[in-house]
A = this chain, B = another copy of it.
Amino acid sequence: MTGKDGGAPLEPIGNSPVVILVRPQMAENIGTTARAMANGGLFHMRLVAPRDGWPQDRAWRTASGADRILEAVEVFDTVDDAVADLHHVYATCPRPRHIVKTVLTARGGAEELRAATRRGLKVGLLFGPERTGLDNEDMARADALIRYPLNPGFMSLNLAQAVMIMAYEWWLTEDGTLPRELMTNETHVATKGELENFMRHLIADLDECGFLRNEEKKPGMVRNLWHFFTRGEVTEQELRTLHGVVTELSRGRKLRQG
């Protein structure tokens, strides 16, 4: 599915959340923010009263190729103007005080953004100026605040890093990657029969060379080898290599003995 502007293949960009940078100071940060957005599949950027005006070449130099985002940037004079056509607006904010407001984690916020876009609603994320963050008026316009769970002893977060975390969480809301998986590429995970075949080869050669000559200890030693070789998945290709290792080690011994 592609967006109205013929965008990225994997994401319906027409309705992905709008990243709104409020009074951004450094054009370089606008560029690195565009890069972070592209990483997580966010494509709509709006600027409210950028300090140095717009466009700025310096943004393109730091965007690492996320040019399409910069080219489509919309500029507004006020936060009210920038959010007027949106249905939900979330404000990122490190440590709000003295206000009554719903606060979400980054993950909780991303899930609500995804749920709203599935309902066809337009949603936006407000990020404040580099030094001062969002002011009280900006936060009063937001439906909820998003506060990242991070080390309270060191909260200094670069603008692009802040956007990166939301972009990453946004991407994860539709990602189904398994948390742990053996990547086998051209080979396959071996069956138990293939493993047993290798173990028979190994034990036969160990028997022959006398490593298992203590009949009392032999069953336990064989079981321990089984425990080792079943600790993780093994591939067919790796079993072929291991067969070769055992054969060659045995052959070397036989040649020396011969």
Which residues on A are within 8 Å of B, measured CB to CB? Answer: 8-11, 32, 35-36, 38-41, 64-66, 96-105, 107-108, 111-112, 144-145, 147-158, 160-161, 164-165, 168, 171-172, 175, 177-187, 232, 235, 237-238
A151 to B11, CA, bound (A): 9
Is there an interface contact between A232 and B102, defined as CB atoms closer than 8 Å?
yes
Please name all residues of chain B whose beta carbon is closer than 8 Å to the beta carbon of A175 when the two chains form the complex: 149
Is there an interface contact between A235 and B182, defined as CB atoms closer than 8 Å?
no
Q: How far is the CB of A223 from the nearest CB of chain B, in Å?
A: 24
Among A39, A40, A97, A238, the most chain B Cβ lie within 10 Å of the Cβ of: A39
Q: Could you give 23 example pairs across A and B, Cβ below 8 Å?
A: A9-B153, A32-B158, A35-B156, A38-B153, A39-B150, A39-B154, A39-B156, A65-B156, A98-B186, A99-B183, A99-B185, A100-B235, A100-B237, A100-B238, A102-B183, A103-B181, A104-B181, A107-B179, A111-B179, A112-B180, A144-B180, A149-B175, A161-B161
A161 to B40, CA, bound (A): 12
Choose from B36, B105, B153 the contact partner of A179 (Cβ within 8 Å).
B105
Is there an interface contact between A10 and B154, defined as CB atoms closer than 8 Å?
no
A104 to B154, CA, bound (A): 27
Which partner residue on chain B sits nearest A108 by CB separation? B179
Which partner residue on chain B sits nearest A39 by CB separation? B150
Q: How far is the CB of A10 from the nearest CB of chain B, in Å?
A: 7
Choose from B102, B152, B171, B179 the contact partner of A104 (Cβ within 8 Å).
B179
Q: How far is the CB of A110 from the nearest CB of chain B, in Å?
A: 10
A148 to B39, CA, bound (A): 10
A20 to B183, CA, bound (A): 23
Is there an interface contact between B177 and A105, defined as CB atoms closer than 8 Å?
yes
- A150 with B165, Cβ < 8 A, contacts A105-B179, A180-B108 known: no
A112 to B181, CA, bound (A): 13
Please name all residues of chain B whose beta carbon is closer than 8 Å to the beta carbon of A66 when the two chains form the complex: 154
Choose from B11, B35, B149, B185 the contact partner of A177 (Cβ within 8 Å).
B149
- A172 with B149, Cβ < 8 A, contacts A154-B39, A164-B165 known: yes
Choose from B99, B103, B161 the contact partner of A164 (Cβ within 8 Å).
B161
A38 to B171, CA, bound (A): 24
A101 to B117, CA, bound (A): 36
Choose from B65, B172, B184, B187 the contact partner of A154 (Cβ within 8 Å).
B65
